[in-house]
Amino acid sequence: AVEIGGVFSLYISRQPGDATGGVIVVQPIVLLLDAGGNTVASPARDVTVVATHANFSLIPLGVFASTDGAVHFTSLAVLQLGFRYRLEFSSPGLPTLTSATFDNFLGAPYRLDVSVDPGNGIAGGSLSQQPVVRVLDKGGNLVPSSAITVSVALDTSGSTERFDTFATDLALSSYTGAQCAV
């Protein structure tokens, strides 16, 4: 009979795959192994994952608990576009483990971001500062070209008054016709 020993090392049984729009498509799985290469199911151990390169951010950062000798990551994402990223896994008292490289490619439009807030205006006149809206992918990266329609609306104490809709094929759209309708 094979006797399972104490945790000796970490092992990446599934390497992270490339990311699209920040979301790592194939999420990694890390196993806790004894000196003989057997999975150690208990006791549960914490595994920390961090980015190995200073120029990219990994979310969520933190410590993840093992279940039955494995940590199944499900929501890791990268915030910057780029190539040859690596993840680093560690657990107290064990050698640190580094993943294979993966890349983060631009994703599809996911959300809008107002990068310049609109300024004040008077009824019937143009706003003093026109809003600028950015189209971002799920990782918060600027999507350079997208054909979407953006509705501009005025919120007056809980009621929304729509005053224009326009289509954009640019990631960064400045609106020039916003007026104060109240």
Q: What is the mean pLDDT of each run of 10 residues along the chain (182 residues)?
A: 86 94 90 94 90 75 86 87 91 95 89 82 77 82 75 60 47 53 46
Tell me the whole-structure pTM to 2 decimals. Answer: 0.70
Question: From the CB of residue 112, how many other CB atoms can be counted at a distance below 10 Å?
Answer: 14
In this predicted structure, what is the pLDDT of residue 178? Answer: 55
Q: Mapping DSSP to helix (H, G, I), strand (E, B) and coil, where does residue 42 land?
A: coil
The predicted pLDDT at position 182 comes to: 44
Closest C-alpha among 45, 29, 80 to residue 59: 80
Contact 108, 134 (CB under 8 A): no
Query: Does residue 131 contact residue 164 with C-beta atoms inside 8 Å?
Result: no
Contact 109/167 with Cβ under 8 angstroms? no
What pLDDT does 33 receive? 95
What's the chain's length in residues? Answer: 182
